[in-house]
């Protein structure tokens, strides 16, 4: 365990700033003390699961509960440290069965020592350790399905099934909920659909300064006379970068610049393939590939339209929600959760996957909007996201699930 972080007693005894979730989370666990919730995940490097874990941990602390997080670590753990929330370092990213069993024993000891009421698993390998520890201790076990975990055989299906064993199962979209029901023997009453939430203070156009936009435009060497089309996402084939390049070739406009924003994560062969495709299409200077961007709000603000051309289903599709929060028209493919996170014909164009002709047509329509039409779409998009996809709503709904389990525990054993 990390000796430099707060001990369980320190975290439990510190003065909490009460928040809007108090009544829900502090309904009582029957133990006469604040409830303790342990979230487990592989690492805290980057990603939606990691972001959600930290947001929920902060909300728990605000509500007067005691949040704990266990992972292999990473740069995002510093956010927990700054908030005085304990992070426990364990090799939870390992899929080695022996390591999983050792982790289970360590989690069992943590559950007993810290009086953990609920263990919330956010990925499969740590979920196995968590499930075993909960079986031995009686702590409540729940999961979040962050992806439609693929399987090609009975062994992989069994490995994935640990995510469906939760007493409560959070699905991050209706698409994921249906995936769970289609592939696992789960009572629908155990599933709660809670969409991911974004930080409405970060993704707000009025909070992005001109200086930030100018700095990013200079960094990317964007031409002043081009309209920006943005496709965020790591460079991998299923994200559809090739489809966008083909659509741009069909569009035939020279007054645009398409930005492919995302790391190749070592896929240098695919990056080279994209560069060659751009040259063959006569799009030199009209398509730029950048690496990971640390200021996506400014990137969205620089763009006229944001595209997701994914050819495989997205479990949620966070970038499209962020883009709409920034008031941008978006184009998405008609698969996965995208059909939940846009209003077709009002905030978005929806096109078939791998259809360059349809994407070119949608781009032409989006780029032909008048400023007034674009502003109207942006206003609808911002209102839609503010109503459904904020971090505050995600946290409130997640804490409500914790409260369900705590109330059940209190009813079963008032003196647990």
Domain that holds residue 301: 205-388
Q: Are residues 228 and 311 in the same domain?
A: yes
Q: Are residues 265 and 378 in the same domain?
A: yes
Question: Does residue 104 lie in a domain region?
Answer: yes
* pLDDT of 414: 53
pLDDT tens, residue by residue, 139-190:
999 999 999 988 888 899 999 999 999 999 999 999 999 999 999 999 999 9
Q: Are residues 278 and 358 in the same domain?
A: yes
CB-side neighbour CA atoms (13 Å) of 366: 31
Q: Position of tokens 């460079």?
A: 235
Q: Are residues 307 and 407 in the same domain?
A: no
Mean pLDDT computed over 341-364: 97
Q: Are residues 139 and 279 in the same domain?
A: no
d(CA 336, CA 321): 14
pLDDT tens, residue by residue, 16-41:
334 444 554 565 565 678 999 999 99
d(CA 318, CA 303): 17
Q: Are residues 270 and 241 in the same domain?
A: yes
Q: Are residues 113 and 37 in the same domain?
A: yes
Question: Does residue 3 lie in a domain region?
Answer: no
Geometric angle at alpha carbon 395, from 378 and 128, rounded to 5°:
120
Looking at the 3D structure of the chain, how many domains does it have?
Answer: 2
* pLDDT of 21: 46
Question: Does residue 2 lie in a domain region?
Answer: no
Report the chain's mean pLDDT, rounded to a whole number: 91
> Which band of pLDDT confidence, cut at 50, 70 and 90, is reported for residue 52?
very high
Q: Are residues 17 and 160 in the same domain?
A: yes
Q: Are residues 252 and 127 in the same domain?
A: no
pTM of the full predicted structure? 0.87
User: Measured between alpha carbons, how far is residue 224 from residues 105, 217, 228, 303 in Å?
Assistant: 59, 9, 10, 12
């Amino acid at each position: 365990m990390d000796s430099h972080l707060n001990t369980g007693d320190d975290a439990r005894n510190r003065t909490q700033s009460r928040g809007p979730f108090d009544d829900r989370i502090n309904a009582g666990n029957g133990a006469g003390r604040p409830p303790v919730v342990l979230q487990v995940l592989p690492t805290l490097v980057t990603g939606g699961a990691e972001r959600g874990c930290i947001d929920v941990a902060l909300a728990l602390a605000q509500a007067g509960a005691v949040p704990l997080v266990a992972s292999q670590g990473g740069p995002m753990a510093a956010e927990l440290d700054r908030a005085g929330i304990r992070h426990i370092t364990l090799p939870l990213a390992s899929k080695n069965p022996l390591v999983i069993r050792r982790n289970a024993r360590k989690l069992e000891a943590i559950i007993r020592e810290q009086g953990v009421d609920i263990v919330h698993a956010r990925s499969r390998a740590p979920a196995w350790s968590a499930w075993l520890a909960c079986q031995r201790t009686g702590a409540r076990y729940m999961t979040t399905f962050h992806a439609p975990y693929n399987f090609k055989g009975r062994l992989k299906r069994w490995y994935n099934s640990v995510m469906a064993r939760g007493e409560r199962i959070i699905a991050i979209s209706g698409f994921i909920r249906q995936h769970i029901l289609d592939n696992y023997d789960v009572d629908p009453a155990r599933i709660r659909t809670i969409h991911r939430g974004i930080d409405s203070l970060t993704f707000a156009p009025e909070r992005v300064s001109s200086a930030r936009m100018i700095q990013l435009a200079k960094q990317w060497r964007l031409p002043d006379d081009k309209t920006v089309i943005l496709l965020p996402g790591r460079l991998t084939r299923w994200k559809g970068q090739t489809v966008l390049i083909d659509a741009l070739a069909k569009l035939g406009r020279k007054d645009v610049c398409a930005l492919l924003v995302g790391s190749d994560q070592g896929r240098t062969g695919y990056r080279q393939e994209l560069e060659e495709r751009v040259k063959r299409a006569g799009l030199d200077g009209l398509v730029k590939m950048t690496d990971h961007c640390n200021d996506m709000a400014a990137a969205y603000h620089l763009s006229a339209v944001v595209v997701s051309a994914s050819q495989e289903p997205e479990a949620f599709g966070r970038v499209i929600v962020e883009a709409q929060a920034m008031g941008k028209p978006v184009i998405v493919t008609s698969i996965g959760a995208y059909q939940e996170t846009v209003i077709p014909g009002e905030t978005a164009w929806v096109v078939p996957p791998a259809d360059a002709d349809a994407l070119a047509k949608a781009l032409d329509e989006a780029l032909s909007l008048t400023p007034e039409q674009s502003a109207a779409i942006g206003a609808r998009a911002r209102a839609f996201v503010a109503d459904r996809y904020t971090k505050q709503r995600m946290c409130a709904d997640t804490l409500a699930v914790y409260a369900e389990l705590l109330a059940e525990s209190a009813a079963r054993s008032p003196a647990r």
